[in-house]
Amino acid sequence: MASTNDLKNGMVLKLDNDQLWSVVEFQHVKPGKGPAFVRTKLKNVLSGKIVDKTFNAGVKVETATVDRRDMQFSYMDGDYFVFMDMQTYDQLHVARAAVGDAANFLVEGFTATVATHQGEVLYVELPAAVELSVQETEPGVQGDRSTGGTKPAILETGHQIQVPLFITTGEKIKVDTRSSDYLGRVNN
């Protein structure tokens, strides 16, 4: 249990029938009239839904212990992604649903943060940007600007994104894992 005065960004709370909510933002408000309160923006850990919630100052809220560990992606085992804890060398099988959109950017050997609560995997989080090679893309035609100067490219993971016309097959590029946007070339 923690007081609403102790809230911090990233803290995970157990609210509404044991649902887990992560604190995205919080603000202590002391109006001229009336008691102080805490205005928060909370994100549901499982669904990603964001809600605004207001608490009276000093109210006790139940916190949840979420264990975040850096693990290395090893391989696919059917519908499961197998991650290895780099300190204990234990392997963890994670269902595709828990991996979510991170599956579009996972390559063997990548390190990701795996969050668990009471032995259950909540989500897999990748760094903001990853470096991947372009597996397939058409040659860009100079002067073809009808598409805004981009063309589709398939990454080594099989995920398709839009890249500038000058990118060729086999090049390593940097990709934003949150939006699937092209960020730039990787210099070798």
Strand 80-85: give its sheet, edge to edge. Answer: 91-95, 80-85, 67-77, 111-117, 120-125
- Domain identity same for 44 and 19: yes
Cα dist from 112 to 53, 66, 89, 123, whole Å: 30, 15, 15, 10
Per-residue pLDDT tens over the stretch 165-179: 888 889 999 999 888
pLDDT per residue over 17-33, tens digit each?
778 888 889 999 888 88
89, 110, 125 — which closes off a domain?
125
Whether residue 77 is found in the same domain as residue 92? yes
pLDDT digits (tens, 9 = 90+) for 87-101: 888 899 988 888 888
Same domain, 118 and 143: no
Mean pLDDT on 141-169: 81
Domain ranges, residue 136: 129-185
Which bin fits 186, alpha (ψ -120 to 50), beta or left (φ > 0)? beta
**Does a structural domain hold residue 61?**
no
Establish if 4 belongs to a structural domain: no
Cβ-based neighbours of 150, under 8 Å, separated by 6 or more: 162, 163, 164, 165, 182
Q: What is the CATH number of the domain that holds 174?
A: 2.40.50.140
Domain co-membership, 71 together with 94: yes
Among residues 125, 147, 162, the one where a domain terminates is 125
Same domain, 104 and 147: no
Residue 33 lies in a domain: yes
Q: How confident is the model at residue 154 (pLDDT cuts 50, 70, 90)?
A: very high
Considering the domain boundaries, does residue 1 fall inside one? no
**Residue 99 burial by CB count (10 A; 0-12/13-18/19+): exposed, middle or buried?**
buried
> What is the pLDDT, as a whole number, of residue 49?
86
The count of structural domains within the chain is: 3
Residue 2 maps to a domain: no
115 and 137 fall within a common domain: no
Residue 172 lies in a domain: yes
**Which pTM was predicted?**
0.72
